[in-house]
Amino acid sequence: MVVPETELLKDAFSEFTKASDSIINYYHVLETQIRLLKEEVEKKNKELERAREYLENILNSIPLGIIVYDKNSVSFSNKTADKLNFETILDGANTKNEKAGLVRNGKGFYRWKKDMLQNGFRGKEVLIIEDVTEFEKMKERLERDERLKAMGEMAARIAHEIKNPLGSMELFLTMLLEGNIKSKEKKYAEYVRYGIQTIDRIINNILSYTRPKTLALREEKIGKMVEEILDFMRLSIESRNISVMCNIEYDGSLLFDPDMMKLVIMNFISNAIDAIKGKGQIRIDIKKDEKNIIIVIADNGCGMGKDIIKNIFNPFFTTKDKGVGLGLFIAHNIIQAHNGYIEVDSTEGMGTSFYIYLPKERKT
Ligand SMILES: Nc1ncnc2c1ncn2[C@@H]1O[C@H](COP(=O)(O)OP(=O)(O)OP(=O)(O)O)[C@@H](O)[C@H]1O
Ligand SMILES: [Mg+2]
């Protein structure tokens, strides 16, 4: 039997429709799968991004510098590394064959350690940097303190040997000055005496620095002590065109260590003399307020700027070619041991006033 052509076409069309329906169905299934896969990929990407942020946060919060680099460039550096300006440290580490070391640049000291990265990161290295500036500085300070201690012990021994002949020189010089000599020679002798007093003051400062001793308190009039010092130094000071005056408003007595306090006053007077270039004036006032006896030592010398003032009580701080830098440090320690304190008022080019406050309570 012959199937008419229309029937055949009908069947074929129905087959085609069935096939295209199933293709459409497949397409929908595929589309859904692709969408699901895309969502999955997006989710994984977000998770990866979070993991990266998490890792970066951890790397940025640790106090070590971390750098990943290869021959050509740096591919990662954490915040600490950036803050340390790691380039010079990286250069320093790369000039060495060692795996670890210490680099010093203008800013500080840095310990470093480097290693190759493994597993798919071949050719890349990681450098870890630790800022050890504070530690190294402390080490330097300790070493310096040790050296100073040894120096101090030696200086104390030498100082002791110098003090005896110095005492004799001063005694003979005083005898010479009391004798009948011409005014010109007298002036020269006064210069020598001032030199001897300066050496004696410096030696006493060194002895006091190296061997801090307990106070030997005595009740005395501080005004009388200051006047004695001035009598002793007046000619030396005045021969330098400097006038001195002392105004004793408070003349009572106080419990203090006279030898130590003498050293304090001599240190202040000597600084005032050094501060006056040419003609000038030193004025000492002794007064009191409700709580304290106040000694004011004022000069109209060169004065000090703020940068100098903040350092003057530090040991070995000096702006003088031949200064030791112990005078004010010792003075501060001695006054502190008397439960007192020192204030300074200074204007560059105008002069300086030091105020020594000693509590009256010590008075017996
Ligand atoms: N009256 C002053 N006028 C100006 N500057 C002063 C005065 N007194 C102190 N200074 C400054 O303070 C610094 C420290 O003084 P300090 O007496 O401690 O040491 P120094 O005088 O330099 O040496 P030395 O150990 O011989 O006393 C001085 O070098 C100086 O710069
Ligand atoms: Mg001094």
Q: Are residues 257 and 341 in the same domain?
A: yes
**Res. 311: pLDDT tops 60:** yes
In terms of domains, do 336 and 242 share one?
A: yes
In a domain, 7, yes or no: no
Euclidean distance between CA atoms 288 and 309, whole angstroms: 25
Domain co-membership, 272 together with 313: yes
| Cβ 267 under 6 angstroms from ligand 1 | yes
In the structure, what pLDDT confidence band is assigned to residue 363 with cuts at 50, 70 and 90?
Answer: very low
Residue 224: φ, ψ to 5°: -65, -40
Structure tokens at 276: 């006056």
User: What distance in angstroms lies between residue 231's CA and the mean position of ligand 2's atoms?
Assistant: 20
The alpha carbon of 312 and the centre of ligand 1 are apart by a number of angstroms equal to: 7
Average pLDDT of the residues of the chain: 90
Question: 299 CB under 6 A from ligand 1?
Answer: yes
- Per-residue model confidence as pLDDT tens digits over 86-125: 888 888 888 878 899 998 888 889 999 999 888 777 788 9
Least confidently predicted of 60-74, 227-241, 312-326: 227-241
What is the domain range of residue 292?
Answer: 219-364
The mean pLDDT of 295-306, rounded to a whole number, is 97
Ligand 1 close to Cβ of residue 323 (< 6 A): yes
Give the ligand 1 atom nearest the CA of 324. Answer: 25
Tell which one of 328, 329, 343, 355 to mutate to probe ligand 1, the residue whose CB is within 8 A of the most ligand atoms: 328
Q: Is 308 in the pocket of ligand 1 (CB under 6 A)?
A: yes
8 falls within a domain: no
- CATH number, domain of 346, equals 3.30.565.10
pLDDT band at 174 (very low <50, low <70, confident <90, very high): confident
256 and 331 both lie in a single domain = yes
User: Distance (Å, rounded) from C-alpha 285 to C-alpha 299?
Assistant: 12
What are phi and psi for residue 114, nearest 5 degrees?
-125, 155
> Looking at the CA of 332, which ligand is closest?
1
Specify whether the backbone of 213 is left (phi greater than 0), alpha (psi in -120 to 50) or beta. Answer: beta
For the chain, the helix, strand and coil percentages under 3-state DSSP, each to the nearest 5: 55, 20, 25
CB distance 304 to ligand 1 below 6 Å: yes
Indicate the DSSP class of residue 360.
Answer: G
Is 322 domain-assigned?
Answer: yes
- How many residues are listed for the chain in this entry? 364
Q: Which residue type sits at 101?
A: G
What pLDDT is stored for residue 225 in this prediction? 94
Do residues 211 and 203 make contact, with C-beta atoms less than 8 angstroms apart? no
Q: Where is the domain boundary, 131, 149, 183?
A: 131
What is the 155 CA–ligand 2 centroid distance (Å)? 18
Report the atom number in ligand 1 closest to the C-alpha of 272: 1
Our count of domains for the chain comes to 4
Q: Which residues have CB less than 5 Å away from ligand 2 (the ion)?
A: 271, 327
Task: Look at residue 86 and tell me if it is in a domain.
Answer: yes
> Is residue 88 within a helix (H) or strand (E), and if so which, with residue range?
helix 87-94
Do 252 and 205 fall into the same domain? no
Q: Does residue 107 fall inside a structural domain?
A: yes
Give the residue from 194, 213, 232 where a domain finishes: 213
Asked if residue 239 and residue 229 are part of one domain, the reply reads yes
Spatial separation of the C-alpha atoms in residues 213 and 136, rounded to whole Å = 32
Question: Are 338 and 228 in the same domain?
Answer: yes
pLDDT tens for 115-153 read 988 877 778 899 999 999 999 999 989 998 888 788 778
